[in-house]
């Protein structure tokens, strides 16, 4: 399994894990406890959901839209992915970039959720002070016959609770991967060109018409 394959699968799992955490973990749970408390249950949920296993992406996307998005700071993620170009964007362009990047992530990683029917995880102790507001939650994905894959969830504490703003797999940053792509797109066709590129990708990744979301 390549690093990018692991990255897509891992973020897909984190999307659902953090979405269910609100209902299943105490409000004052630490970030690592939050992730650990729900991961195994989420994996079990995915394994038992026949519609997910049969490839109903519309259902996955609807689930993510409803329960997950409040737990990710997409504005921070988009700003980090844009780098210096973020400050060059107008308020309207920033709004469009955040929306299209959020849609891209949801649609890209929804299709990877079904890969988590039989994963094992090693949750590492959180190395942070109780007063810290920016932490990294370390998890290891255990693979039979292969080295464990390190997953680092960068999370920040906001007035609305803990939110994810980047994920690193084997030291490879999700945000950094998109930063290279975004920088090249802006260089070639400007910020409006990048927005158009994202819109085109999202159209291609849209679930088939007629799929049941319930």
Summarised one tens digit per residue, pLDDT across range 90-100 is 999 999 999 99
C-alpha span between 49 and 52 (Å, rounded): 5
If one counts every other C-beta atom within 10 angstroms of the C-beta of residue 180, the result is 11
| Residue 20 reports pLDDT greater than 50 | no
More confident residue, 30 or 203: 203
- In this model, does residue 177 exceed pLDDT 70? yes
Q: How far apart are CA 74 and CA 153, in angstroms?
A: 14
- The kind and range of the H/E element at 128 are none
Domain locations along the chain: 3-205
Q: Which pLDDT does position 212 carry in this prediction?
A: 56
DSSP-assigned letter for residue 87: G
Q: What DSSP state is assigned to residue 67?
A: H
pLDDT of residue 23: 46
Average pLDDT over residues 81-93: 97
Average pLDDT value for residue range 50-77:
74
pTM: 0.76
Range 3-205 has CATH code 2.70.98.10: no
For the residues 70-98, what does the mean pLDDT come to? 94
| Average pLDDT over every residue of 54-58 | 75
Q: Is the pLDDT of residue 31 over 60?
A: yes
């Amino acid at each position: 399994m390549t690093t990018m394959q692991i990255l897509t699968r891992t973020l897909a799992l984190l999307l659902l894990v953090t979405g269910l955490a609100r209902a299943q973990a105490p409000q004052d749970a630490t970030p690592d406890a939050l992730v650990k408390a729900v991961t195994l249950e989420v994996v079990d949920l995915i394994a038992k959901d026949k519609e997910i296993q049969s490839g109903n992406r519309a259902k996955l996307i609807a689930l993510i839209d409803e329960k997950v998005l409040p737990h990710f700071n997409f504005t921070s993620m988009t700003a980090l992915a844009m780098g210096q170009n973020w400050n060059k964007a107008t308020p309207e362009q920033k709004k469009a970039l955040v929306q299209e990047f959020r849609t891209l992530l949801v649609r890209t990683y929804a299709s990877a959720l079904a890969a988590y029917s039989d994963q094992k995880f090693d949750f590492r102790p959180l190395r942070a002070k109780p007063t810290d507001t920016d932490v990294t939650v370390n998890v290891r994905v255990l693979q039979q016959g292969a080295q464990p894959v390190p997953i680092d969830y960068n999370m920040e504490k906001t007035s609305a609770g803990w939110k994810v703003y980047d994920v690193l797999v084997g030291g490879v940053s999700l945000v950094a991967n998109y930063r290279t792509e975004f920088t090249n797109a802006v260089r070639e066709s400007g910020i409006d060109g990048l927005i158009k590129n994202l819109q085109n990708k999202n159209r291609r990744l849209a679930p088939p018409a007629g799929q049941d979301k319930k």
